[in-house]
Amino acid sequence: MQKITLQELKAIWSDVVLLIEKDDNVKEVSAAKRNNKIYLLTGIVACISYLYITAGLLPAVFGVIIFLGVFLSVEAIKTEMGFQSSLSKQFCSIMENADCSQVINSQKNIINLKFSDLSIYFFSSQLLGILLLSFRAPEYFSMMNMLLYCSVPLTLYSIFFQWKVEKKWCPICLSIIAVLYLEILFLTVYNLYYSKLSYEGLQISDFIIIIISAVISVCGYRIIKKTLTKLKSTEKENITNSRYVKNYSFFESILKNSTVNTFSTKGIFLGNPESNVVITAITSPFCSFCKEAHSILHSIYDSHSNDIGINIRFNFSGRPDASTKEFFIQLYHIYITKGDKAFLDALSSWYHEKNINKWLEKYSVKVNDPETVFRDLLKISDENFEKGLFFTPNFYINQYQYPDNLERKYLESFVPDLIESNNL
């Protein structure tokens, strides 16, 4: 360690002192997470071992497939609730036209149940059922074979919904479907080579056990989901009370260390075009989490439109259907012909109802050269995808990405300091 004199210290000191407070909870949280993983892994190994001992190798293998389905269902639920893990984030971006959150939280679904809920109901019921009926594996497999074939229409509907209705793919949902088909393949091979499916041997008690398993799984999951929702709400309150949330110096320091991106194509620019502070929003009218982002931007615009710029860049890919394409053209036309406020009001109207036909009926007018308008929007979206910006909403302040671990709603509280400091 080098020693220096007081005079030397004064000569090189820049009048800045960085204080780092030890957080005694860090080790405890890390240890708790590690212990939870150990307990979970131990439980899985114990279940598979139990199946192997009581029923043999094939039921144990089927148990592994069920656990894979449970894992993917949990990832789908986490995505639905906004607890998306780094693994699911990476997994959901393996293809360009993918948005797990948009598909899972879609309001266009004619079935009043989310795919994430249905999948966890099914796989957890399967798991509990095989543990209770391990001594009657052929009969259990026979019942599962019937249920799996009954699930095929639902899987086809999910694929059609992603492809034609939402026009976005959900890799997690597709993986869950793949697990269901893997189970069907397993049982087909099981019956072909071992001829052990036993429909004649089924007893009323077998069906009762499966029904009880389903009831326990559904009720248990509903309780857990309700608890998770409360925990999420509590977590947000804790962030609000954090000493750092409204500390602009801390915010600026983490902002300057975040991902940097610049854009060559011009988006829909609102506010002051001469401002030194520009908030860029990668968003989509069809994204479930973008409604809150729009409200934040609208509020910032209402309060600071003379001092700040807002650059909105819509994400969409592939070939949208006629009504979706017309929606984007009309929205952009409103911006060009009527200005910022009318554009924001029209977008607010969309988020309020989310009915494309009603919206078009209210706002649609004749647009000269609509294809040119749409090509301009397509160029913006293409650049977003070229930079790997598939997730929406995504905020940038000038060239810096808004920190992932900070709630977007706090952005508005930093705007006056951003305008005043002019350090970005």
**For 274-302, how does the pLDDT look when each residue is reduced to its tens digit (9 = 90+)?**
999 999 999 988 887 888 899 999 999 99
Dist. CA 414–CA 277, nearest whole Å: 12
Q: Which one-letter DSSP state was computed for residue 380? A: H
Checking if the pLDDT of 340 tops 90, the result is yes
- CATH 3.40.30.10 positions along the chain are 250-421
Write out pLDDT tens, residues 78-130.
888 877 677 777 788 787 788 888 888 887 777 777 888 999 999 999 999 99
Tokens of 335: 């911006």
Higher pLDDT, 81 or 349: 349
SS3 annotation, 90-151 = HHCCCCCCECHHHHHCCCCCCCCCCHHHHHHHHHHHHHHHHHHCHHHHHHHHHHHHHHHHHH
Instruction: Residue 400: name the closest of 268, 300, 278, 312 by CA.
Output: 278
**Which pLDDT value is given to residue 9?**
58
**Which pLDDT value is given to residue 78?**
86
Q: List the beta bridge partners of residue 394.
A: 282
Checking if the pLDDT of 410 tops 80, the result is yes
Looking at every residue in the chain, the average pLDDT score rounds to 85
Write out pLDDT tens, residues 117-169.
999 999 999 999 999 999 998 899 999 999 999 999 999 999 999 998 888 89
Q: Which CATH superfamily is domain 250-421 in?
A: Glutaredoxin (3.40.30.10)
Range name among 230-239, 244-253, 298-307 with the lowest pLDDT average: 230-239
Place of tokens 């609208």: 298
Dist. CA 349–CA 344, nearest whole Å: 9
Dist. CA 45–CA 21, nearest whole Å: 40
Q: Which residues contact 132 (CB under 8 A, 6 or more apart)?
A: 209, 213
405: how many CB neighbours lie within 10 A of its CB?
6
Q: What would the mean pLDDT of 368-393 be, rounded to a whole number?
A: 87
DSSP string, 332-366: HHHHHHH-HHHHHHHHHHHHHH--HHHHHHHH---
Going by pLDDT thresholds of 50, 70 and 90, the confidence category of residue 386 is: confident
SS3 of residue 278 by DSSP = strand
The H helix count followed by the E strand count for the chain is: 16, 5
Checking if the pLDDT of 50 tops 50, the result is yes
Which residues in 112-144 are b (16+ Cβ under 10 Å) and which e?
A: eebbbbbbbbbbbbbbbbbbbbbebbbbbbbbb
Going by pLDDT thresholds of 50, 70 and 90, the confidence category of residue 4 is: low
- Output the pTM of the full model: 0.56
Checking if the pLDDT of 190 tops 90, the result is no
Checking if the pLDDT of 373 tops 70, the result is yes
**Which pLDDT value is given to residue 255?**
87
Instruction: Residue 285: name the closest of 237, 231, 347 by CA.
Output: 347
